[in-house]
């Protein structure tokens, strides 16, 4: 049996994540929690055979068998729930931009934080672009990084819109703390075009040691690491012009629950599922060691 987990928040992100977690051999999704009985997300969870509750966080905290929680609510709710989850001994993968725990980007720094009680997934834009900034920084030393995340307005639900300020602040800090840039800036654009566009991310980096060959090799290597859990990410441009590096990315979603154009949400849920899988494997290994001691 896998590690029992709960998804907190039955919105678009939580529901897409739930579908992804159903494929995990290390995680048994035992509960999805919301606050409204008639939530479509809770209905979908029941269709998948997952127990549901509309009693919010309390329903998670009373389950001693649930060791892993995915928080897909919002920054403010997570700030209130995080201390209670930690006190209850539950590991939390935080998909909100609350930024209470260490910033985690699976292909960059997950191994460093597997024991953390609260792992923050930064933002969708951060998950897409921080790996590229890190790839550039490790060979060329990034002095300044600026990213522009352009997403379809149809893929930006109420949660995304309510957290836009947190998105820009958290992403910028992630470019610095995880990406390695001395200074970072993030911009998000909601594009109302029809048909909806795929997520597109532009990375601008000012570097101190420009080396076009080394930069391109590093970016391509990082792209392959990302594609192990986000297969829809594609590199459209990697250009080095003096000290300015420009990287253009496109992210197509897997279409698990959300439409393929919602790559901004898919990159977040795919990264969270990857983190949850690795955390669950570590917890299972710990239980195995205790059983043989």
Residue 236 assigned as binding residue: no
Residue 89 assigned as binding residue: no
Residue 49 assigned as binding residue: no
Residue 106 assigned as binding residue: no
CB atoms closer than 10 angstroms to residue 37: 11
Residue 11 assigned as binding residue: no
Torsional sign, CA 113, 119, 122, 128? positive
Residue 191 assigned as binding residue: no
Q: Report the SS3 class of residue 17.
A: helix
- Which ranges in the chain belong to alpha helices (H)? 12-21, 40-47, 57-61, 75-87, 106-109, 124-140, 158-162, 164-177, 212-227, 263-292
Q: For residues 126 and 165, is the Cβ–Cβ distance under 8 A? A: no
Going by the DSSP 8-state scheme, the letter that residue 153 receives in this structure is G
Residue 158 assigned as binding residue: yes
* DSSP character string of 36-51: -TT-HHHHHHHHTT-E
Which residues does the annotation mark as catalytic?
A: 124
Question: Which of 157, 116, 181 has its CA nearest to residue 268?
Answer: 157
Question: Which of 177, 169, 127, 174 has its CA nearest to residue 13?
Answer: 127
Within 13 A of 66's CA, how many CA atoms are on the CB side? 24
Q: What are phi and psi of 238, to 5 degrees?
A: -140, 105
Residue 269 assigned as binding residue: no
Residue 156 assigned as binding residue: yes
Q: For residues 123 and 167, is the Cβ–Cβ distance under 8 A? A: yes
Residue 159 assigned as binding residue: yes
> Which residues belong to the annotated binding site for NAD(+)?
155-163, 264
For the annotated binding site, the residues are 155-163, 264
């Amino acid at each position: 049996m896998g590690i029992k987990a709960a998804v907190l928040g039955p919105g678009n992100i939580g529901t897409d994540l739930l579908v992804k977690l159903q494929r995990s051999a290390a995680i048994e999704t035992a509960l999805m929690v919301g606050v409204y009985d008639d939530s479509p997300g809770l209905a979908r969870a029941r269709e998948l055979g997952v127990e549901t509750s509309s009693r919010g966080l309390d329903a998670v905290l009373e389950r001693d068998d649930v060791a892993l929680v995915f928080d897909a609510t919002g920054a403010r709710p997570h700030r209130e729930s995080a201390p209670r989850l930690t006190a209850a001994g539950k590991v939390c993968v935080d998909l909100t931009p609350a930024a209470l725990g260490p910033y985690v980007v699976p292909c960059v720094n997950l191994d460093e934080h597997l024991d953390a009680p609260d792992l923050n997934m930064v933002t969708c834009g951060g998950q897409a672009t921080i790996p590229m900034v890190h790839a550039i920084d490790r060979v060329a030393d990034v002095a300044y990084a600026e990213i522009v995340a352009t997403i379809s307005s149809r893929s930006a639900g109420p949660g995304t819109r309510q957290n836009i300020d947190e998105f820009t602040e958290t992403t910028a800090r992630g470019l610095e703390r995880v990406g390695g840039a001395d200074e970072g800036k993030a911009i998000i654009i909601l594009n109302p075009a029809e048909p909806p566009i795929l997520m597109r991310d532009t990375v601008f980096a000012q570097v101190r040691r420009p080396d076009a060959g080394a930069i391109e090799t590093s970016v391509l290597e990082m792209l392959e690491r990302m594609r192990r859990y986000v297969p829809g990410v594609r590199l459209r441009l990697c250009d080095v012009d003096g000290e300015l590096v420009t990287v253009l990315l496109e992210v197509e979603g897997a279409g698990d629950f959300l439409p393929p154009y919602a790559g901004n949400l898919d990159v977040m849920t795919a990264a969270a599922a990857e983190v949850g899988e690795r955390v669950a494997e570590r917890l299972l290994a710990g239980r195995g060691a205790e059983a043989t001691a």
